[in-house]
Chain A
């Protein structure tokens, strides 16, 4: 029987020995069984250590193992198998020893694993307890605070009897947060900014009817003359012209006019987006627009009781500071009935007065009223 090769055994067991035929000369070097902590911990391995010499010496003893085997309950099942092989020479004994070593090693690992798992579980449990406690404390704190606030609506002075005197740091931090909140309000007014080392960085915010949209930055340098250092204004807004006209004489005026342009552009874009989103069933084909959103072309349908009428619209926004078109050219298909031409005039009027995404509402209501008329 050939000696079992090292690859059959778990790491840590390297069998370098030579069968010299003389059993006592058999050496087996075992590197320590590696564990997670890098220490030899398995009791099985420890047990085996002093036994090695004994076993080696007794390697011929065919009956040298029963007590050893009984120490490892897992190995008991193998005893039967082992006994079958008792008839074999020292090869069987050695391989059995190796198997036992492997077993012990496995057991050691498993034991460690179990211990680790238990430890981890204990840690998780402790953490959950800790967090639960913290959460309950916070809940109580917040409830108390809410009750206090409901009892005393609005502003409290710092001399509240049941609260601890706030620290100086807390007072300072409170003030900082208050000022930051006010600066945030300025964002809502349309023109806000921050002083920089070389000038000011203004932020122009845009909105359409309560919905705040993009904001644009203009970084100005004050010296030697007022000039734009950097900006995030899109190219189709005539920034250079405005700067040339107003920047040197009146910065506020410059920002105000720029804000008009930007708000109008953003408003037009928003209306077109809303039209595409909410009235896609009325639109035939795609809505065509340019980047400044001051020329829009689209085909739309208005359904009456009997049939659907097709129109094509071209909207021109001549005034770049307004979000309503100056011209609305509506046309219908060449073979359409004459009555439609009246409608085109009415539609054109609606487009010029009402926001684009609200125009269609008035069309459908107009149709309904027309249908109801005798």
Chain B
């Protein structure tokens, strides 16, 4: 009979302890999420903490342990950012709901992937069951400057619809790599500078059917001596998606190479290149086969020699080099 009295008290103690635990977590989360310390403040704290602490030994971790832990974490983080190319500039999260096994957090993230900036907002629902934690993304919002890149905006909206954060990052990564490569290639032809970054990226980018490394390309690069700034024009700048080849000695004749980066439904980025010719009307009337077949020939050239050599060859043609 007395056991039931004990049981009542013990039950209350247990429920109070659980409530205290939840409240403590909520308070700590709130503190964590609402405060912000700048890097200088953190450095100052580290220094003063180490000074204060000398001689004392508490049960908790010493400042050197904490400092070592922080340094380890920061090294890991900077390695990851450098390796993947995804630089996170700011991240904030807010706990919206936290019950026994469910946690819903709202995240805000912004950063750059290579050179492309992005901003994200999403809700992460985590459910703890016995073996594992399951995570589901809901309510994903992506802000990306896509501008004229319609394939990017289409891709972004379909990703938002399905909450496909992982695919977003993977595709963004490969898109950004192609984007950067294109920019470097354009820069190379504009200024005739051996851009190391461009070349390395080129070698390491996904070998789709359009790219093929051949010894010819190496030779071509090494032999480039002439400058072509007068032939190569970038009307939309280095970040545009086409390049215009025009010889000032030949007026009315232009070659436009359009280089778009397309993202398919599975999120894979691939370059799509095309050649457009601009010839005077008299030439058009004559229906010269070379002009009409130019786009097809360009595509075969791309398949055989790769992007850079194909463009190089076209430049030589326009520049009337032998």
Would you call A342 an interface residue if the criterion is a C-beta within 8 Å of the partner chain's C-beta atoms?
Answer: no
Nearest-neighbor residue (CB-CB) of B48 within chain A: A168
| Interface members, chain A 115-145 (any B CB < 8 Å) | 117, 120-121, 124-125, 127-128, 131-132, 134-135, 138-139, 141-142, 145
Segment with Cβ contacts to A, from B169-177, B216-224, B231-239, B286-294? B169-177
Q: In the bound complex, do residue B166 and residue A190 qualify as a contact, i.e. CB atoms below 8 Å apart? A: yes
Note all chain A residues with C-beta closer than 8 A to B101: none
Q: In the bound complex, do residue A172 and residue B42 qualify as a contact, i.e. CB atoms below 8 Å apart? A: yes
- How many Å lie between the Cα of A124 and that of B8 in the bound state? 10
Q: In the bound complex, do residue B170 and residue A195 qualify as a contact, i.e. CB atoms below 8 Å apart? A: no
Q: In the bound complex, do residue A176 and residue B92 qualify as a contact, i.e. CB atoms below 8 Å apart? A: no
Would you call B69 an interface residue if the criterion is a C-beta within 8 Å of the partner chain's C-beta atoms?
Answer: yes
Q: In the bound complex, do residue B166 and residue A172 qualify as a contact, i.e. CB atoms below 8 Å apart? A: no
Q: In the bound complex, do residue A124 and residue B45 qualify as a contact, i.e. CB atoms below 8 Å apart? A: no
Q: In the bound complex, do residue A211 and residue B6 qualify as a contact, i.e. CB atoms below 8 Å apart? A: no
- How many Å lie between the Cα of A317 and that of B232 in the bound state? 45
Contact indicator per residue, chain A 32-53, by CB within 8 Å of chain B (1) or not (0): 0000000000000000000000
Specify which of A175, A183, A186 lies most central, judged by the most chain B CB atoms within 10 Å of its CB: A175
Contact for A172 among B9, B70, B109, B140, CB less than 8 A: B70
> How near does chain A come to B33, taking the closest CB pair, in angstroms?
8
Would you call B32 an interface residue if the criterion is a C-beta within 8 Å of the partner chain's C-beta atoms?
Answer: yes
Contact for A209 among B66, B107, B124, B162, CB less than 8 A: B162
Given contacts A128-B13, A131-B13, contact A256 B5 (CB under 8 A): no
Note all chain A residues with C-beta closer than 8 A to B36: 155-158
Would you call A249 an interface residue if the criterion is a C-beta within 8 Å of the partner chain's C-beta atoms?
Answer: yes
| Interface members, chain A 317-358 (any B CB < 8 Å) | 321-324
Note all chain A residues with C-beta closer than 8 A to B169: 188-190
Note all chain A residues with C-beta closer than 8 A to B93: 181
- How many Å lie between the Cα of A174 and that of B41 in the bound state? 12
Given contacts A174-B37, A176-B69, A182-B91, contact A169 B49 (CB under 8 A): yes
Q: In the bound complex, do residue B9 and residue A171 qualify as a contact, i.e. CB atoms below 8 Å apart? A: no
Would you call A193 an interface residue if the criterion is a C-beta within 8 Å of the partner chain's C-beta atoms?
Answer: yes
Would you call B145 an interface residue if the criterion is a C-beta within 8 Å of the partner chain's C-beta atoms?
Answer: no
Q: In the bound complex, do residue A168 and residue B69 qualify as a contact, i.e. CB atoms below 8 Å apart? A: no
- How many Å lie between the Cα of A174 and that of B30 in the bound state? 12
Given contacts A127-B13, A155-B92, A212-B134, contact A168 B73 (CB under 8 A): no
Note all chain B residues with C-beta closer than 8 A to A174: 32, 35, 37
Given contacts A138-B23, A139-B23, contact A185 B88 (CB under 8 A): yes
Would you call B199 an interface residue if the criterion is a C-beta within 8 Å of the partner chain's C-beta atoms?
Answer: no
Would you call B138 an interface residue if the criterion is a C-beta within 8 Å of the partner chain's C-beta atoms?
Answer: yes
Would you call A192 an interface residue if the criterion is a C-beta within 8 Å of the partner chain's C-beta atoms?
Answer: yes
Q: In the bound complex, do residue B137 and residue A210 qualify as a contact, i.e. CB atoms below 8 Å apart? A: yes
Given contacts A124-B6, A166-B35, A190-B170, contact A195 B75 (CB under 8 A): yes
Number of interface residues of A (CB under 8 A): 71
Note all chain A residues with C-beta closer than 8 A to B115: none
Note all chain B residues with C-beta closer than 8 A to A172: 42, 45-46, 49, 63, 66-67, 70
- How many Å lie between the Cα of A171 and that of B70 in the bound state? 12
Would you call B194 an interface residue if the criterion is a C-beta within 8 Å of the partner chain's C-beta atoms?
Answer: no
Q: In the bound complex, do residue A175 and residue B37 qualify as a contact, i.e. CB atoms below 8 Å apart? A: yes
Q: In the bound complex, do residue A168 and residue B45 qualify as a contact, i.e. CB atoms below 8 Å apart? A: yes
> How near does chain A come to B271, taking the closest CB pair, in angstroms?
16
Q: In the bound complex, do residue B170 and residue A188 qualify as a contact, i.e. CB atoms below 8 Å apart? A: no
Contact for A189 among B48, B84, B134, CB less than 8 A: B84
Nearest-neighbor residue (CB-CB) of B5 within chain A: A121
Q: In the bound complex, do residue A138 and residue B166 qualify as a contact, i.e. CB atoms below 8 Å apart? A: no
Q: Please report whether the interface of chain B is mostly helix, strand, loop or mixed according to DSSP.
A: helix
Would you call B86 an interface residue if the criterion is a C-beta within 8 Å of the partner chain's C-beta atoms?
Answer: yes
- How many Å lie between the Cα of A158 and that of B32 in the bound state? 11
Q: In the bound complex, do residue A207 and residue B23 qualify as a contact, i.e. CB atoms below 8 Å apart? A: no
Q: In the bound complex, do residue A205 and residue B166 qualify as a contact, i.e. CB atoms below 8 Å apart? A: yes
> How near does chain A come to B14, taking the closest CB pair, in angstroms?
10
> How near does chain B come to A78, taking the closest CB pair, in angstroms?
27
Q: In the bound complex, do residue A189 and residue B206 qualify as a contact, i.e. CB atoms below 8 Å apart? A: no
Q: In the bound complex, do residue A145 and residue B52 qualify as a contact, i.e. CB atoms below 8 Å apart? A: no
> How near does chain A come to B123, taking the closest CB pair, in angstroms?
10
Contact indicator per residue, chain B 74-92, by CB within 8 Å of chain A (1) or not (0): 1111011001101010011
> How near does chain B come to A215, taking the closest CB pair, in angstroms?
10
Specify which of B45, B137, B206 lies most central, judged by the most chain A CB atoms within 10 Å of its CB: B45
Q: In the bound complex, do residue A135 and residue B16 qualify as a contact, i.e. CB atoms below 8 Å apart? A: yes
Q: In the bound complex, do residue A210 and residue B136 qualify as a contact, i.e. CB atoms below 8 Å apart? A: yes
- How many Å lie between the Cα of A36 and that of B244 in the bound state? 100
Note all chain A residues with C-beta closer than 8 A to B2: 117
Q: In the bound complex, do residue B204 and residue A252 qualify as a contact, i.e. CB atoms below 8 Å apart? A: yes
- How many Å lie between the Cα of A186 and that of B165 in the bound state? 11
Note all chain A residues with C-beta closer than 8 A to B167: 207, 263
Note all chain B residues with C-beta closer than 8 A to A198: none
Would you call B230 an interface residue if the criterion is a C-beta within 8 Å of the partner chain's C-beta atoms?
Answer: no
| Interface members, chain A 73-123 (any B CB < 8 Å) | 117, 120-121
Note all chain A residues with C-beta closer than 8 A to B67: 172
Note all chain A residues with C-beta closer than 8 A to B75: 195
Given contacts A185-B107, A207-B164, A209-B162, contact A135 B20 (CB under 8 A): yes
Would you call B317 an interface residue if the criterion is a C-beta within 8 Å of the partner chain's C-beta atoms?
Answer: no
Note all chain A residues with C-beta closer than 8 A to B278: none
Note all chain B residues with C-beta closer than 8 A to A188: 124, 135, 137, 165-166, 169
Q: Pick 9 A–B contacts, CB within 8 A, sort by A.
A: A131-B13, A171-B42, A180-B73, A185-B91, A192-B80, A207-B167, A211-B135, A253-B204, A259-B170
